[in-house]
Structure 1
Amino acid sequence: MSEEDPLKALSDMASEAHARIQAAHEHINPVVGVRRGMRDVGIPADAMTVDCLRTRRRIMLILHDEQPGVLLYQFVTLDDEVGNEFREVSLSDVSVQTLFDWMEEYFGGPGLH
């Protein structure tokens, strides 16, 4: 089996998690986007955002070339766009369910139904 492109793998998982979250929670309609702007300014990384326009919250996901196999992530608001502190998780520990859980918990929290 050939090694899959980590950005494609993450994108595929995010797409499936997006479909699941929409089926489970009508009020959560996340917008998933891939940003290549970091590479344009010389940072060897790809970024993916998962935004919830209703709650103005964002999940930022970073795949950095210098940290293969690691997903950097943070929960911020759309107004902040990006924060200073990133958490790390092994990419092999991230699944569709992980992304679904993050969206459900961060975007669909108490009082947002």
Structure 2
Amino acid sequence: MPDDPLKTLSDLASDAHARIQATHEHINPVVEVRRGMRDAGIPADVMTIDCLRTRRRITLILHDEQPGNLLYQFVTIEDEVGDDFQQMALSDLTSGKLFDWIYDYFS
């Protein structure tokens, strides 16, 4: 696995995003990497995938204190971040799984 988990996550999200746009144009997700947690002194990178049409968001967090793990949750854009995160090994995440999450949650 590459040493940069954020690059790994970004590459997976980019691939899933391209596949969604090619097959499900109505979803049109917006992917963004946010620096807010690092800027606030929290050692973590955050990626959000938003669907403006449904106002839903998938939040993905890579926390420095949990290397190799991905924290994620399905929320609304208004809720921003909830309390309950699910967790999985980053190595178990594929662009196909991200594609499924985007399709299932935003459709």
TM over 0.5: yes
Q: Which has the larger radius of gyration?
A: 1
Name the residue aligned to 1:42.
Answer: 41
2:11 is aligned with 1:5 = no
Q: Which runs of 4+ in 1 moved over 6 A?
A: none
Report if the CA contact (8 A) 2:2-2:8 is conserved.
Answer: no
The SS at the match of 1:106 is helix
Name the residue aligned to 1:56.
Answer: 55
Once the two structures are overlaid, the 10-residue window that deviates more, 3-12 or 40-49, is: 3-12
| CA displacement at 1:103 relative to structure 2 | 0.1
Report if the CA contact (8 A) 2:50-2:57 is conserved.
Answer: yes
| CA displacement at 1:37 relative to structure 2 | 1.0
TM-score, normalised relative to structure 1: 0.92
Q: Distance in 2 between matches of 1:99 and 1:59?
A: 10
Aligned length: 107
Unmatched runs of 5 consecutive residues or more in structure 1: 109-113
| CA displacement at 1:3 relative to structure 2 | 3.0
1:1-113 equivalent positions in 2, closer than 5 A: 3-108=2-107
Which residue type is aligned with residue 92 of structure 1? Answer: S
Question: Residue deviations 1:34-77, cap 9 Å, x none?
Answer: 00110111100000000000000000000000000000000000
Q: Distance in 1 between matches of 2:40 and 2:74?
A: 23
Which residue type is aligned with residue 95 of structure 1? Answer: T
The SS at the match of 1:14 is helix
Report the identity percentage: 72
Q: Distance in 1 between matches of 2:106 and 2:10?
A: 19
| CA displacement at 1:26 relative to structure 2 | 1.4
Question: Residue deviations 1:13-39, cap 9 Å, x none?
Answer: 101100001111111100000001101
The SS at the match of 2:98 is helix
Report if the CA contact (8 A) 2:34-2:46 is conserved.
Answer: yes
The SS at the match of 2:41 is coil
Unmatched runs of 5 consecutive residues or more in structure 2: none
